[in-house]
């Protein structure tokens, strides 16, 4: 048994099957190359799901699955049924992650300071925060961002120039972003409600920090350094690597 399985049981890590599983690998045009109208028309005609399984790491040897909404696609009624039936399992896992590491909530009406705010350790309080933001969370979008160490330059410096000298080393530990969205009905299914309202919970394994190269002074930034990018592992792959950052 690996370490992650001591924290989350193996049977909890697997997402349920999709009733349209035979269409999960059906071809759909990239959202940067085709209009959303045509993509969604093809989805409705061929019953191509708007969700795929995404793998979320817990540690270096443990991942769990959840159904992730593919950018640009509509959510079919069958998709929504899967998402709703799987919601208790997903929230049970997130509740354990929040209990272990704590979560920091961010919204349009309330922003926490990463450097000095106290995390919350109860998933229900994350949901309560969403309701305080006048949002009823119907969709959970979960990103895992691996640890990154990078040199940072002053705003006056040109990092491309051979003469540029980095001022800090930035360290961004591994963390997870959970964004909470609402749905709105459209013909034949659903889509994320626009404009998307900022409401999220960030789970950090430790705080990000900056270390001054010359003095060794350590600073804790108030916000995410945005050095890392989401690890995008899905079954099946939802797009080409060039489009995966869409």
Return the higher-pLDDT residue of 36 and 103: 103
Mean pLDDT of 20-46: 86
Can you give the pLDDT at residue 243?
A: 38
Can you give the pLDDT at residue 161?
A: 52
Mean pLDDT of 105-128: 84
Residue 40: CB atoms within 10 A of its CB come to 22
- Span 179-233, pLDDT tens digits: 999 999 999 999 999 888 999 999 999 989 999 999 999 998 877 788 899 998 8
Q: How far apart are CA 121 and CA 98, in angstroms?
A: 5
Strand pairing report for 183-186 and 234-235: unpaired
First to last CA, the chain: 36
Return the higher-pLDDT residue of 132 and 243: 132
pTM score: 0.87
Can you give the pLDDT at residue 1?
A: 45
Can you give the pLDDT at residue 155?
A: 57
DSSP line for 161-185: STT----EEEEE--EEEEEEE-EEE
Can you give the pLDDT at residue 235?
A: 86
Using an 8 Å Cβ cutoff, are 171 and 149 in contact? yes
Torsion of CA 159, 161, 162, 165, to 10 degrees: -40
201 bridge partner residues: 105, 178
Can you give the pLDDT at residue 112?
A: 63
Q: How far apart are CA 243 and CA 74, in angstroms?
A: 17
Domain ranges of the chain: 3-235
- Span 48-60, pLDDT tens digits: 999 999 999 998 8
């Amino acid at each position: 048994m690996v370490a992650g399985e001591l924290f989350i049981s193996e049977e909890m890590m697997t997402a349920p099957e999709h009733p349209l599983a035979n269409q999960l690998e059906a071809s759909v045009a990239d959202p940067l190359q085709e209009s959303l109208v045509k993509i969604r028309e093809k989805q409705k005609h061929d019953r191509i799901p708007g969700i795929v399984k995404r793998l979320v790491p817990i540690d270096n040897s443990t991942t769990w699955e959840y159904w992730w909404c593919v950018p640009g696609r509509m959510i079919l009624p069958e998709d929504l049924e899967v998402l709703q039936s799987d919601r208790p399992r997903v929230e049970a896992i997130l509740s354990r992650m929040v209990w272990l590491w704590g979560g920091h909530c961010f919204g349009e009406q309330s922003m926490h300071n990463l450097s000095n705010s106290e995390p919350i350790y109860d998933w229900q309080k994350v949901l309560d925060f969403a309701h305080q933001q006048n949002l009823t969370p119907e969709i959970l979008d979960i990103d895992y961002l691996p640890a990154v160490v990078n040199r940072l330059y002053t705003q006056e410096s040109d990092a491309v120039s051979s003469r540029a000298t980095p001022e800090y080393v930035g360290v961004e530990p591994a963390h997870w972003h959970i964004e909470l969205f609402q749905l709105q009905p459209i013909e034949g299914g659903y889509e994320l409600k626009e404009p998307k309202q900022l409401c999220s919970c960030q789970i950090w394994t430790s705080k990000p920090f900056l270390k001054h190269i010359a003095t060794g002074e350590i600073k804790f930034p108030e916000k995410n350094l945005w050095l890392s990018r989401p690890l995008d592992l899905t079954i099946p792959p939802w797009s080409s690597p060039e489009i995966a950052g869409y």
